[in-house]
Every structure is written in structure tokens, then in C-alpha cells.
């Protein structure tokens, strides 16, 4: 999957994941856009549960290798993975290059996207950092089916 993403333009998604898994990136070189590419890669290559395990394991190891274990946030990681996975499942063009996918879903690039589902104090709580907490029903717009 070659990409033309600006965060690591010379790396395919697979190469970016390999560099991350080997902890060869500096934390400053791993912005939100790179997180999204890695999530897309894991979701494109495995089911959601295995993608979640891989993403969580890789990000924890990466943060630890930088001496910043507290950087990892379980709820943010898994909630973004869920939103991306759902979009991919509903998108008839899933399986394509991540750059094309994220260009079609620009709201996923918004780091504040999860505030549609969580109050800031809940999302940034120590509990949410340590383990996944479910979205707040009151924060999710209700739509009758």
C-alpha cells in the first residue's frame, strides 16, 4: 500500500508499521496522521479484535521505548480504532490506500473527534487512560431507525 501521506511520505503503510513496531521512530515523528495510517493498516490486515491487540501492543511498546509509558491512552486508541473500523466496514471502497480513505473521511483527522462521544473530563480521566471506557450515551446523538 503506497501512500503519499505528508507525515512519512517515503514510507508505505506497511513500512511505517514496521518502523513503529521496531521502535525506530521518535515520538515527535509519530503524529495523529501516522496513528491513523497504522490503525488503517492493522484493520486492513486483520479482524477488529486482532487489530486492537496489535495496535495496543505496538503503541505501548513504542511509548515505553521512548521512556514515556504514560503517553499510551487505552480509550483513545480503541475508540479511534472502532470509528475507523466502522467506517471501513461501511465503505464499499475499503481495502484501498489509506491516503485515499482518509481523504474521503477527513473528520477522522480531527484529534477532537472523540469529544462527540465523551465529555473531556471523562475521556482524559486516569481510568480512561488505563482501560477502555464506553462512550457516554448522552453524548451520542440519537437517531431513530
Q: What is the pTM of this model?
A: 0.86
Whole-number pLDDT of residue 2: 34
Residue with the three cell numbers 505501548: 60
Whole-number pLDDT of residue 138: 65
The distance from CA 92 to its chain's CA centroid, rounded to whole angstroms, is 20
Note down pLDDT in tens along the chain; length 145 residues: 333 344 666 899 999 999 999 999 998 889 999 999 999 999 999 999 999 999 999 999 999 999 988 889 999 999 999 999 999 999 877 667 899 999 999 999 999 999 999 999 999 999 999 999 999 876 556 556 5
The distance from CA 30 to its chain's CA centroid, rounded to whole angstroms, is 12
Q: Name the percent of the chain in helix, strand, coil, to the closest 5.
A: 65, 0, 35
Amino acid at each position: 500500500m503506497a501512500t503519499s501521506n505528508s507525515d512519512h511520505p517515503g514510507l508505505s503503510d506497511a513500512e511505517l508499521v514496521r518502523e513503529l513496531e521496531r521502535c525506530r521512530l521518535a515520538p515527535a515523528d509519530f503524529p495523529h496522521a501516522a496513528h491513523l495510517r497504522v490503525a488503517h493498516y492493522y484493520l486492513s490486515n486483520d479482524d477488529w479484535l486482532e487489530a486492537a491487540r496489535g495496535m495496543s501492543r505496538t503503541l505501548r511498546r513504542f511509548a515505553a521505548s521512548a521512556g514515556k509509558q504514560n503517553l499510551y491512552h487505552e480509550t483513545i486508541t480503541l475508540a479511534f480504532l472502532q470509528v475507523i473500523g466502522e467506517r471501513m466496514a461501511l465503505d464499499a471502497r475499503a481495502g484501498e490506500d489509506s491516503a485515499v480513505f482518509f481523504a474521503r473521511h477527513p473528520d477522522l483527522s480531527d484529534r477532537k473527534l472523540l469529544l462527540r462521544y465523551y465529555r473531556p473530563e471523562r475521556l482524559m480521566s486516569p481510568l480512561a487512560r488505563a482501560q477502555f471506557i464506553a462512550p457516554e450515551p448522552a453524548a451520542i446523538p440519537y437517531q431513530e431507525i
